[in-house]
Amino acid sequence: MIAVIDYGMGNLRSVQKAFESMGHKAMVTRDPHAIADASHLVLPGVGAFPDCMRNLQQFDLIGPLLDGINQGKSFLGICLGMQLLFTESEEFGPHKGLDLIKGQVVRFPATKLKVPHMGWNKLNPQKSHSLLKGLPQESYVYFVHSYYVAPDDPGVIATRTDYGVEFASSIARDNIFACQFHPEKSQAIGLKILDNFAKLK
């Protein structure tokens, strides 16, 4: 069972429905027992970084989430759910994150390009990963964000994307995979990534 962690923010139902459309069982939950029993954990996110961290604390979800990751369960962070993994964000900040991945969450620099970065953009793979298996060479996915992650260790970067600056559009380390884009909104490419995730042992 895939647990989509409900902390009051994010495209929870759309993520659940995307998994179910691929034939996988998924539930939206904030029940620590259900999270403990799940084989896969998903942390989606839409909104502001400090609000999301506050909600995770308020609903006592940080402990069950970290326990699951430390036990080796497959974890997927989506959009803000990726940013929360990092040490600190400058969004209305600085604000401390979960510090599972060392690095910062920073705002796009001022350029002629509009912020937020919204719409379809290309993934440039940096290393092979099982979640990217079977994707075509030119894979476009859907983004909506004003901030991006800057990992201390570039070795965790799975894909990069260019939007005025080249940023980490997904990361992978051990049982953690996270993406800045929204796979649930990325049509066939996104569904393939979610299917690959659900099939991880």
Partners of 140 in the β-ladder: 122
Distance CA 182, CA 194 (A): 10
pLDDT band at 11 (very low <50, low <70, confident <90, very high): confident
**Domains delineated in the chain:** 2-198 (3.40.50.880)
- pTM of structure: 0.95
Partners of 172 in the β-ladder: 177
pLDDT band at 9 (very low <50, low <70, confident <90, very high): confident
> pLDDT per residue over 135-188, tens digit each?
998 899 999 999 999 999 999 999 999 999 999 999 999 999 999 999 999 999
pLDDT band at 201 (very low <50, low <70, confident <90, very high): confident
Distance CA 199, CA 201 (A): 6
Catalytically annotated residues: 79, 182, 184
